Each structure stands twice: as C-alpha cells, then as structure tokens.
Amino acid sequence: MASTSLLKASPVLDKSEWVKGQRVLFRQPSSAAVVLRNRATSLTVRAASSYADELVKTAKTIASPGRGILAMDESNATCGKRLDSIGLENTEANRQAYRTLLVSAPGLGQYISGAILFEETLYQSTTEGKKMVDVLVEQNIVPGIKVDKGLVPLVGSNNESWCQGLDGLSSRTAAYYQQGARFAKWRTVVSIPNGPSALAVKEAAWGLARYAAISQDSGLVPIVEPEILLDGEHDIDRTYEVAEKVWAEVFFYLAQNNVMFEGILLKPSMVTPGAESKDRATPEQVASYTLKLLRNRIPPAFLSGGQSELEATLNLNAMNQAPNPWHVSFSYARALQNTCLKTWGGRAENVNAAQTTLLTRAKANSLAQLGKYTGEGESEEAKEGMFVKGYTY
C-alpha cells in the first residue's frame, strides 16, 4: 500500500476540482470490507495531529499485504441476534465466550491485521482472564473501536438517517487510545431507494469528516466509510452514480477539516446491483465498476454488505487480479464469521473446529487480497447469502 502526500487546507476547493487526480482506499459491501491506501496525489493537507507519524505507521500495518480487517464490532443487541440464531441467550458471558473464540484463534494474525471492537469488547477480558486487546496485540493485530452512537432518523429527509456520536467524541477517542485502540470506525449509511437526498449525503459526508479529524487528533486512524446500502431493486449503474456523488462530497469535507490522508483508511462499499435487483453482476463486473469508481473519486475500502462468504471473496479476488494502483484489502464481519458461528453453536467442544473455519475464511480472503484465490474446496455454507433488508447493528 503506497502512501499519500499531506493535505493542505487552504484554499477551499470546489468539489469538482477536489476529485481530480485522486486515488482511493477500499472496502467491500456488507459483512465484509476492503481496505485500500493511495499511492500518490497532487494535493496536500496539513496534519494537525501530533500523532502524524504514528497514524501513518498504523495505517500501513493494517494495510499490510495478505492481511485484512476482522469486523467484530456488533452492538450487544446485534450480537444477541447472532447468538439467538444458534440458540444462545444474549448474556455478557456468552458474548465474552464468542469473542474469546475469535480473538484467540491460533495463527489469526497471519491473515488479519486489524480487529474492530465494540466498546464492551475493548474493555473486556477473555474467558481465561486476559485482556482481549493484549491477545490481539500478541498476534500483531491492531485493535480498533467503533465510536459512533448509531443511526437515528434525519428530520427533513426522505425517511433517511444520520449517524450520531460527535458530542463527546474527543474525550471518548482519547480514552479508547489509552485502552489500546489505534484505529476507529464510524458507520454512516446512504439509502438508494430513499433518494438519496442531498441533505442525507451532505450530513453523512460532514459527519465522517468531523469524526476523522477528531479521531486523528486522539491518535486513532479513522476508517472513512459511507456505506451505500444494498437494499433496493436498482441496477449496478445506479449504484455507481450514487457512489460517485457520495465520495466526491466526502473528500470535499475531509479537505475542509484538514484530515491527513496518509493517516486514514477508506472503506467504500463494492459497486453491486441492489440486493433485490433482477440483474446480477459477475465478480469481473463488480471489480470493473468498483475500480472505475476509485479511479474517478479517490479513497475507498470494501464492505461485503450481505454478500455470501464466497461472493465477498470472489469479488475481492477479481479486483486484485485487475490492473489497479491501489492496495485493495478487506474488512469483513459476517463474511468471516457466519460459518464460524454456526460451527461453534455455543459448545466448548466445538471451539477448535469453529476457529478452524474462521482461519479458513481468513486465509481465503488473504489469498483474494493477493489475487491468488481459486475458490476450490468451498463449502455450501460459504455460498449462502447473508443479505438482511433494512439491516442495522
């Protein structure tokens, strides 16, 4: 992953000027995500953070070749839904047991460079009494933290939402850094069936920019992630059209807020048709549209967004087989955990088998990140779609 030059705050650029000649970072649509870092840009932005060198080092570590991000930042409520799917009660002990299974999988650090945690997990110990953060660091996995406070209705919009959490964010991120976190996530979403309205796009972009600036000031590398939801019947061209507008807006406000580009990870959703569209896209089409978006609109990272485990991996692999100037990685939740959770089933005797399935998926995406994934030997469970209409977490 190549680095970008510092960004210079003045003068204020027109949005059309801002997107010229840029490069981006990646993320994948849904339970997974891809991470990219930019090689070169002609623009410079002043880094206000005293953590500048550390931010660049952290970003490079997370974007290291053959490794990606394990997103395990589901809220307690969402984690409860996952546990309920295997017949377990939503208790702290059960959440602790499952998270222990994930972070302690032997050799996980060979394929995973960063783990996004929920606040409870950041302060939690494993079932053996060791801090979750310490277990990750021992495997050379960078601990991250979800810092937003969830989505709420956006008044004046077309039944859209906005992400809350800027109030008190500076003190929270400072505390998270002291606890061992070194990067952050802020989940805001854009809905295509509901517009998206200009108000919703601007709110999402401005919120991401403020969060990114505040996080960097506390020493945390921000994942910049305007998630374009898979909900809808729209085709891939409509997704592309919306994504271009959203990313132009995001980078315009990142520049206004003096965010240091070398110290961020961009996590754009893969460009796919809506989950309810009659038109399906091949991995090659998804790769083509997504890379085109990146060439035109600078920094993304990918999110799987309800794709099956196999689809998420195939699409990532296709992008890394196509000529592109970026380091395209992954940041997946369900696309890494789905089969693992089912294998575990809440039974202690299944922990080793569940960890093996987690490592299998992590290795598959590690190979895809290098463009070397073949898809041989995949289970039927890996092919099951995971899209949930109106998904929240």
CB-based contact 205:36 (threshold 8 Å): no
CB-based contact 166:139 (threshold 8 Å): no
Q: Which residues pair with 151 in a beta bridge?
A: 163
Nearby residues of 107 by Cβ (< 8 Å), 6 or more positions away? 139, 359
Q: What is the pTM of this model?
A: 0.77
Question: According to the model, what pLDDT value does residue 299 have?
Answer: 44
The answer to the question of residue 386 being in a domain is no
The residue type at 256: Q
CATH code, domain carrying 232: 3.20.20.70
Between CA 76 and CA 140 the distance in angstroms is 26
Question: According to the model, what pLDDT value does residue 257 have?
Answer: 96
Q: How many structural domains compose the chain?
A: 1
What is the mean pLDDT of each successive set of 10 residues along the chain, which is 393 residues long? 28 35 34 41 49 93 90 91 94 96 96 96 97 97 96 95 97 98 95 93 97 97 91 93 94 93 86 90 89 72 48 75 70 84 94 94 86 69 47 51
225-261 burial, b for 16+ CB within 10 Å, e for fewer? bbbbbbbbebebeebbebbbbbbbbbbbbbbbbbbbb
The answer to the question of residue 383 being in a domain is no
The answer to the question of residue 9 being in a domain is no
The one catalytic residue in 119, 225, 249, 262 is: 225
Question: According to the model, what pLDDT value does residue 147 have?
Answer: 97
Known catalytic membership, residue 225: yes
The answer to the question of residue 140 being in a domain is yes
In terms of Cβ atoms closer than 10 Å to its own Cβ (0-12, 13-18, 19+), residue 345 is middle
Q: Which residues pair with 68 in a beta bridge?
A: 112
Q: Which regions of the chain does DSSP assign to beta strands (E)?
A: 68-72, 112-117, 142-146, 151-153, 161-163, 183-185, 188-190, 221-224, 226-228, 265-266, 331-332
Residue numbers of the domain that contains 369: 51-298+328-375
The one catalytic residue in 185, 227, 267, 309 is: 267
Known catalytic membership, residue 54: no
